[in-house]
Structure 1
Amino acid sequence: MTTTTPSRVGGTDTGSDERRTKQRRLREVLDRADQDAVLLTSATALGWYLAGARSHVSLAADPIVAVRVTRDDRAPGGVADDVLVTDNETARLVHEELPDDVTVWERPWFAPLPDLRACPESVLADALRAARAPLLAPEIDRFARLGRDAAAVLTDALAAATPDQTERELAGAVAGALAAHGADPLVVLVGGLARSSLPHPLATDGPLGDRALLVACARRDGLIVNLSRAVAFRPLTAGERDAQHRILEVERETLDATRPGVRLSEVLTVIAGAYERHGFGADHWRGHHQGGVAGYAGRDPRATPDTHDPVRLGQAFAWNPWAPGAKVEDTVLLAGDDARPAFETLTTDPRWPVTEVGGRPRPVVWERG
């Protein structure tokens, strides 16, 4: 490998409070683990540590960047950052993506990573995940702007949708609009009436019909928002309206249970009970993952019976209660304080119809018929 110290155009401000805070958090992780260095290689860790730098080329491939973070008492943040790149990607990364206080190491695109004598990221996964919380003020601002953009895209797409439009046509419109906003469309699901019983309806050539569910996960600046919206081209039936009411009540109990110090596994237990209390059955929660912490991964982490991470103020969450024909999902921020926590919805568009549930405005099916 060769080391370079190229000139900078753009990138992250080396003196930013956000960068220094993240460096200090990484130093604390290394100190507690008694490790001299850690090698960050996942899109989640890199997106967080590099403030949303685009470390990928293909969305389906691993990042093309790795960062070795080494304890260094002489550095302002207590660590030194060595960024490893392939030489065919250096120009873009240096001029457009990387902080200007790092050392860039190049290797040929066909050469594997050398032995760097650093702790693998996987060994410190739990500690690194904790270090990503709470979100910092600049991160919350970026997250909120992405949430508003993504919500507007879904509103626009469903405002223009028609019953004879195909699922793929709607998915394509959404993916293109997200890309136009600078966001990666990581997930775009579309289910028309005929496929309303599926938890994850990948788009087909079938028409939407009388109803459609649209789900999107969009990434920008490393952060990922998750949201779902549904449209009906006719008035809802009594049964559909009842299912919508009950799924919103499941979400209400979920949000009420998401309080500082409560473990994610405990929130999941509340969700399972809520499904039963609202007529969906005791085991209904098994039919779809229920969501979890939102941030630099689709869920960071997803709530399971074995996920014991505590809820923290300043974290974002994306819960997604689901039943055939009924779903609700937004990305929300847990704000306030321990005594009076409150949720702020990040994925909002004032044009979308809502109803009040538990004192919160929540999205409902848009009845366009």
Structure 2
Amino acid sequence: MSQTITATPTAGTPSPDSPSTGKRTAPASAADRAVKRRRVLDILDAEGRDSLLLTTHTALTWYLDGSRVHISLAGDPIAALLVDREGDHLVTFNNEAGRIAAEELPAGVSLHSVPWYGNLHEAAAAVGQASRAGAGSPLAESAVTAGLRAARQQLLPGESARYAQLSAEMAGIMTDVLSAARPETTEFGLVSALAARVVAVGAEPLVLLCNGSSRSDFRHPLATHAPLGRRAMAVICARRDGLVANLTRWVRFDAGTPEELDAEARIAAVEADIFDATVPGARLDRVFDEIKAAYARHGFGAEQWEQHHQGGPAGYAGRDPRVTASATDSVVTNQPFTWNPSGPGVKVEDTVQLTESGVKVLTLDDRWPATTVNGLLRPVTLQL
């Protein structure tokens, strides 16, 4: 049995946390949420159904427009949401309901609670059945995965602004922390400094990676006690208000070898080719074909793409989805991407948005050294 909670949430603002009071209000934009609701109702119309149950972090944070629905970063959401033709019904546990009502609930969403030991999905389905005589079971999110992914491809004005701000802050954090690094700094020391800064701006560090020169062969390098040595890579994937910003940066403490400098230039050229292929209407599997061709074109070998995933659309998931030969989604304007081509000892990664005027880099800090590649400013290795 669920209990309905009456709450009067504060309308969303661009900055949900108030520095003066420390209080958080739901970041949701009423205008953006109305568009998202219409997109979901269109899915229901296409499926001939009356309700849809949203249960994943990606779908929930997108539809609620930035609400936090987690406790453990490694755990399941602590809420489920039923979208029906009468309204939106968010169900959470009784020990979470007060905070959700005060800090995360968008206007126009009814909140229901179940005991902490209850079943969120069953309770959310029951809410719909209780409100509509003869209502059947809701459509499962897994049945319309592709439709929901298409619905969240094109970022709306409010979320575009929040994403740009998060991305710029993450780029600035990377500049600050790597500028203070030294050869004797350990990988754990570096990622702990990154983590402190990420959390301090209200974001959640989903992925923090680092490899010093002794571990440069690893492309997903979880940190160790090893010192950075002469050269290092750092990666941040951070989430705030549901949106995930991703970037990679390199630092070195010498002039670099000719081989390294050459590989860095060539991987930037691979990325430039990927950006050229990321145009409205392009299918992701065709972009993937261009990625594979770019590696061969720039001297990395035809099989280099097999050594690491290549990224893909971004936004409310780290990759939404990772690009593969089976990804047939079409690219749209205002869609975010994080491509991450890599080769032996080199990798480039930024969060970008495809605008009407082309690719716009969001994870940008003017203080970081950069060079122009195919008309776009791209980061180079920070040399200290």
- When normalised by structure 1's length, the TM-score is 0.95
| Contact kept? 1:3, 1:103, Cα under 8 Å | no
- Map 1:236-315; keep pairs closer than 5 Å: 236-315=256-335
Residue 324 of structure 1, CA deviation: 1.8
Alpha-carbon separation, structure 2, partners of 1:118 and 1:12: 26
Residue aligning to 2:188: 168
Task: Spell out, residue by residue over 1:12-31, the C-alpha distance to the aligned partner (whole angstroms, 9 max, x if none).
Answer: 48882111111111111111
Shift of 1:367: 1.2
CA–CA distance in 2 between the matches of 1:2 and 1:330? 43
Equivalent residue number for residue 220 of structure 2: 200
> For the residues of structure 2 that align with 1:227 and 1:163, how far apart are their CA atoms?
22
> Residues of 1 paired with 2:5 and 2:201: CA distance?
32
Once the 2 structures are TM-superposed, how far is the Cα of residue 119 of structure 1 from its aligned partner? 1.1
Deviations 1:182-227 (A, max 9, x none): 0100000000001111110000011000001001101001000110
1:312 aligned counterpart, secondary structure = coil
C-alpha deviation, 1:9, in angstroms: 4.6
- Which residue does the alignment assign to 1:70? 84
In 1, the alpha carbon distance for the partners of 2:219 and 2:51 equals 41
Q: Which moved more, 1:14-23 or 1:306-315?
A: 14-23
* Correspondence for 1:20: 34
Q: Which amino acid aligns with 2:2?
A: T
The equivalent residue for 1:76 is: none
**What amino acid maps onto 1:285 in structure 2?**
W
Q: What's 2:62 paired with?
A: 48
Give 1:102's aligned residue. 109
Letter in 1 for 2:366: P
Shift of 1:7: 3.1
CA distance in 2, matches of 1:274, 1:13: 40
1:31 and 2:45 are equivalent in the alignment: yes
1:4 partner letter: T
Letter in 1 for 2:369: P
Q: Is the 8 A contact 2:272 2:374 kept in 1?
A: yes
Residue among 347, 351, 363 paired with 1:331:
351
Deviation at 1:265, TM superposition (A): 0.9
* Matching of residue 155 in structure 1 with residue 175 in structure 2: yes
1:140-194 Cα offsets, whole Å, 9 max, x none, are: 1000000010001100110111101110110111011000010100000000001
Q: Deviations over 1:326-351 (max 9, x none)?
A: 11110001001xxxx41111000000
Q: 1:61 aligns with which of 70, 75, 80?
A: 75
Quick check: 1:352 aligned with 2:368? yes
**C-alpha displacement at 1:6, in angstroms?**
2.2
Deviations 1:43-95 (A, max 9, x none): 000110111101000000010010000023xxxxxxx1111110010000000
Unaligned 5+ segments in structure 2 are: 11-24, 126-136
Determine if contact 1:68/1:82 at 8 Å carries over to the other structure.
Answer: yes
1:119 to 136, 139, 143: 139
Distance 1:223 1:367 in 2: 31
CA–CA distance in 1 between the matches of 2:366 and 2:334? 24
- Between the aligned partners of 1:13 and 1:151, the Cα distance in structure 2 is 22
8 Å Cα contact 2:341/2:349 also seen in 1? yes
Counterpart of 2:129 in structure 1 is: none
> Are 1:13 and 1:100, in contact at CA under 8 Å, matched by a contact in 2?
no
* Alpha-carbon distance between aligned partners in 1 of 2:341 and 2:154, rounded to the nearest angstrom: 24
Contact 1:165 1:208 in 2 (8 A): yes
User: Cα distance 1:94–1:240, how it changes in 2: closer, same or farther (>3 A)?
Assistant: same
Q: 1:144 aligns with which of 158, 164, 169?
A: 164
Distance 2:206 2:173 in 1: 14
- CA deviation digits over 1:251-282, x for unaligned, max 9? 01000011111111111111111101111110
**What is the CA–CA distance in structure 2 between the aligned matches of 1:88 and 1:293, rounded to whole Å?**
35
SS of 1:89 mapped into structure 2: helix
Q: TM-score, normalised by structure 2?
A: 0.91
Equivalent of residue 91 in structure 2, options 80, 84, 97 = 84
Shift of 1:99: 1.3
- The change in CA–CA distance for 1:140 and 1:4 in structure 2 (over 3 A counts) is same
SS class of match (1:265): helix
Across the aligned residues of Structure 1 and Structure 2, the Cα RMSD in angstroms comes to 1.3
